[in-house]
Structure 1
Amino acid sequence: MVPEDTGPKVRVAAPLRGFAQRCALLLLLSASIGLLMAGRMDPKLFEEARIALTDTAAPILETLSRPVATISDIVGNVQELTNLRQDNLDLKAENARLLQWQQAARTLLAENDQLRTLMNFASDGAVKSVVGRVIGDASSPFIRSLLVNAGHREGIKPGHAAVTGDGLIGRVASAGERSSRVLLISDLNSRIPVLVEGSRARAMLAGDNTRRPRLTFFSANVEIEIGSRIVTSGHGGMFPTGIAIGTVTEIGDAGIRIQPFSKPDRLEYIRLVDFGLSGIIDEKHEPKTQRHGTAQ
C-alpha cells in the first residue's frame, strides 16, 4: 500500500497551531485585564464570583490534598519510628552503663560495710594492725586457711592475730614478703585457750576442719549452756584476754560445739593485729611452717 501524502496538511496545520497559541496568550491577557477591570468597577460582584469559584474548587482541592497529607503522615511516622528506634538504642546503652555503675556501687558498698565492720574491732592504741584483702582460699581436706595480701613488707609475722569486726578468725601461720597465710580457728591444727563468759571456766578451742570447732579440756563440774559466749583467755601468750570467738550451739555426745561469729566464706578483708605478745611461735620455724602447712 502506498502511504498517503500528508505533506500539504502538515504545512497548513503548523501555522494554525502557532496562530492559536498566540491567540490563546492574547485571550488570557485580555481575560486577566478584564477581571481586573471588573474587580475595580464592581468589587462586590467580583468577590462573589471568587467565592463561588473557591466553593466549586474546594472539594477538588480537598480530594487532591488527601494523598499528599497521607504521604506526609507516612513520612512523618517513618521518621518518628526511626527516631524512636535510635532513642531505644540510646536508652539500652545508657541502661547497660547504669547497670555497670550499679554493680560497681554494690561492690564498693559491700567493701565499705566490711571495712566499717573491721573498724568496730576495738583494741589498745599501742597495738599495731594492718588491714589485708583476702586473695585466696588455701583450704584443703586437711587444712583450713586463707591467703591475705599483706606480709613482711607490712610488718606481718607468724603469730599475729587475724580478726574481723565480729571477732577472732585465726592467726598468721606463715608470712612472705607480700602475702600471709592465716590459719583459721576451725583448722585441725588450731588450739586456742578460751574462757566461757559468765562462769569464767577455762577450756581449749580445738578445730577439727568443720565449721564448728569443739571445746575440750574443761572441768567436768563446769556448767556450760547453749548460747554461752566464748572468748580468748590470754593463756599461752598468743592472744590477749577477751577477744570474741563465738557461742555454744551444741552440747551432746559429739561434744560441745561452737559457732564462730566470723564466717570465712564471706570475708573480703581481715585485720592482722600484733598485740606485742611473745606467743608460742618462733620465727625460725616459719620456713618449716610454710613447707608443711602446720603451725609449729
Structure 2
Amino acid sequence: MRYAVPIRVLLHRFAYLLLVLMAFMLLMLGKAEVALIERARTVAMDALAPVLNVIRQPVDAVQDMVRGVNDILYLRSENARLRDENARLLAWREAASRYERENARLRNLLHVTGEPVTTFVSASVVGESASTFFRTMLLNAGARDGVEKGQAAVAAEGLAGRVMEVGQRSARVLLVTDLNSRIPVMLEQTRTRAILAGDNTDMPRLEYLPSSAQLSPGDRIITSGHGGGVPAGIPVGVVASITDGIVRVQPFVPFDRVEVVSIARHGFARLPGPSGIPLSVQ
C-alpha cells in the first residue's frame, strides 16, 4: 500500500501521455507488420515463381497440343467444304461459259444490238433535306464530273434516288421516298413490272401493278431499267406490307446514314451515225 498510492497518483497524472504513447506505438507496430507481410509475400512469390513456371510448361504444352488437334480437325472439315464448293464453282463456270457462247451465237444470228454501258462516278453526301415536303440529298459532284439530270444515285445497299438538279460542282438527288419520285421497278422473282411511287413516308408504294400480280411480304424489288436512265437489276427494297390493296416497300438504303453514293452513267456508249461516224449517246 505504501508503494501503490504513489504509483496510482503517477498513473493518473501521466495517463493522457501514456495513452498517446501507446497509440503511437500501436500505429508503428501496424505499419511494421504491413511492411513485414508484404516483404514475406514478395519473398514467397520470388521463391514460387520458378516452380510455377516449371509446372505450367506441361500444361501449356497440353493446351497447345489440344489447340493443334482442333486446328487440324477444323482445317480438314474446311478443306472438304472448300473442295465441294470448288467442284460446284467449276460446274457453274463450265455452264456459264457454255451459256455465254450460246448467247453470243444467238445474238449474232439475231443481230441484237449491244447492251447499254454503265459507268459510275462516286460522290460524297454533303447535305440532306428530309422535311414534310422534300426528301433530297446534296452531292459534291456535278456536270464537270459527268453527272447529268435523271441519272440514278446508288448507295452500297441499293437505289437511293435520281439526280434532279445538276451544277458544275454539285448535284441534288431526289430520294425514292420523295412525293415526286417515280421509279420503274419489278418483282425480282416473278418479273412483274410496277412503278415505285414515293409519298414522303419511309415506305413508298407500288403502283400500276397488274391485277394478276402475285406477291407477298418479303419479295425483293429491283429496278426494271425501262425508260432509260436507271440501270436494270439495282436492288430497291422488299415488300413490307399489303393493306387494302396498297403495297408498301421497305427500301434497302438507310437514308439517314448514307455518306457516299455512286452516280450511274447509263446508256449506249457508241452508235453508228448516218455516215458511219460513231456518235456518243448517254
Q: Give the TM-score of the pair, scaled to structure 2.
A: 0.52
Change (3 A) 1:139 1:184: same
Change (3 A) 1:144 1:254: farther
Out of 230, 247, 263, which is 1:239 matched to? 230
Q: Which residue of 2 aligns with 1:272?
A: 263
Structure 1 pair 142/231, CA: closer, same or farther in 2 (3 Å)?
same
Cα distance, 1:192–1:277 mapped onto 2, change above 3 Å: farther
Give the 5 Å matches for 1:18-167: 126-167=117-158
Query: Are positions 1:208 and 2:180 aligned together?
Result: no
Number of the residue aligned with 2:190:
199
The one-letter code sitting in structure 2 at the alignment partner of 1:276 is G
How far does the alpha carbon of each residue in 1:26-67 deviate from its partner, in whole angstroms, 9 at most, with x for none?
xxxxxxxxxxxxxxxxxxxxxxxxxxxxxxxxxxxxxxxxxx
1:248-271 deviation per Cα after TM superposition (whole angstroms, max 9, x unaligned): 011112711000111110011111
1:245-256 matches, cutoff 5 A: 245-253=236-244, 255-256=246-247
Identity %: 47
CA 1:232 to 1:270, structure 2 compared with 1: closer, same or farther past 3 Å? same
Match of 1:263 in 2: 254
Larger radius of gyration: 1
Q: 1:125 to 1:191 in 2, by over 3 A?
A: closer
Three-state SS of the structure 1 residue aligned to 2:184 is strand
- The runs of 5 or more residues in structure 1 that have no matched partner are 1-123, 279-296
Asked if structure 1 preserves the Cα contact closer than 8 Å seen for 2:185 and 2:224, the reply is: yes
Q: d(CA) in 2 for partners of 1:270 and 1:141?
A: 23
Distance in 2 (alpha carbons) for counterparts of 1:252 and 1:194: 20
TM value normalised by structure 1: 0.50
Segments of structure 2 that go 5 or more residues without pairing to the other structure are 1-114, 270-282
Q: Deviations over 1:96-141 (max 9, x none)?
A: xxxxxxxxxxxxxxxxxxxxxxxxxxxx994321111110113332
RMSD in angstroms over aligned alpha carbons?
Answer: 1.9
**Given that residues 186 and 209 in structure 1 are in contact (C-alpha distance below 8 angstroms), is that contact kept between their aligned partners in structure 2?**
yes
> Aligned to 1:182, which of 156, 169, 173?
173
Larger % of helix: which? Answer: 1
Per-residue Cα deviation, 1:246-296 (whole angstroms, up to 9, x for no partner): 000111127110001111100111111101269xxxxxxxxxxxxxxxxxx
Q: Tell whether the 8 Å contact from 1:128 to 1:275 is kept in structure 2 after alignment.
A: yes
Asked if 2 retains the 8 angstrom alpha-carbon contact of 1:239 and 1:277, the reply is no
Q: Measure, in 2, the Cα distance between the counterparts of 1:127 and 1:234.
A: 12
| CA distance, structure 1, for counterparts of residue 237 and residue 262 of structure 2 | 18
The letter of the residue matching 1:212 is M
Deviations 1:225-264 (CA, angstroms, capped at 9, x unpaired): 1100001111111212211100001111271100011111
Q: Runs of at least 4 residues of structure 1 off by over 3 A?
A: none
Query: Offset of 1:198 from its aligned partner?
Result: 1.3
CA contact (8 A) 2:174 2:181 kept: yes
Q: Would the aligned equivalents of 2:117 and 2:268 in 1 still touch at CA under 8 Å?
A: no
Change (3 A) 1:194 1:125: closer
Q: Could you tell me whether the CA contact under 8 Å between 1:191 and 1:206 is conserved in 2? A: yes
Partner residue, 2:215: 224
